[in-house]
C-alpha cells in the first residue's frame, strides 16, 4: 500500500538539509567509534571501512601499481 504526501518546496528543502546534517553527524560518530563496538561485516562496519579508506587516500598513503607482477610481489611481502 503506497501513500502520497504533498509538501511545499520550502518544507522539502528543510527536510533535505536536516537529512544532510544527520548524515554528517553519523559520519563523525563512525570515525569516533572504536571498531570493537561495531559488528564485523555489518553495514556500519563497511561504512567505517570506506571512511578509513578515504582518509588513507586523502593522506596519500597508497601505492599505484603498473603491473600485476609488482602488486603480487608486494602482497607476498606483506606491504
pTM above 0.95, yes or no: no
Query: In this structure, which long-range contacts are made by residues 27-31, counting pairs with CB atoms below 8 Å and at least 24 apart in sequence?
Result: 27/51
| Domains in the chain, number | 1
Q: How sure is the predictor about 16, in pLDDT bands with cuts at 50, 70 and 90?
A: very high
Q: Which residue has the cell 607476498?
A: 76
Residue 45 and residue 37: Cα distance in Å, rounded?
A: 10
Domain extent, residue 64, equals 9-77
In a domain, 53, yes or no: yes
Residue 14 and residue 19: Cα distance in Å, rounded?
A: 9
In a domain, 35, yes or no: yes
Q: Which tens digit of pLDDT belongs to each residue from 26-72?
A: 999 999 999 899 999 999 999 999 999 999 999 999 889 999 999 99
Q: C-alpha cell of 53?
A: 579508506
In a domain, 1, yes or no: no
Question: If phi over 0 gives left and psi between -120 and 50 gives alpha, with beta otherwise, what is residue 2?
Answer: beta
In a domain, 3, yes or no: no
Amino acid at each position: 500500500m503506497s501513500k502520497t504526501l504533498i509538501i511545499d518546496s520550502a518544507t522539502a528543502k528543510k527536510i533535505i538539509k536536516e537529512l544532510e546534517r544527520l548524515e554528517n553527524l553519523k559520519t563523525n560518530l563512525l570515525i569516533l567509534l572504536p571498531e570493537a563496538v561495531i559488528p564485523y561485516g555489518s553495514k556500519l562496519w563497511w561504512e567505517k571501512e570506506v571512511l578509513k579508506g578515504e582518509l588513507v587516500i586523502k593522506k596519500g598513503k597508497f601505492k599505484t601499481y603498473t603491473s600485476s607482477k609488482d602488486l603480487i610481489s608486494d602482497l607476498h611481502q606483506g606491504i
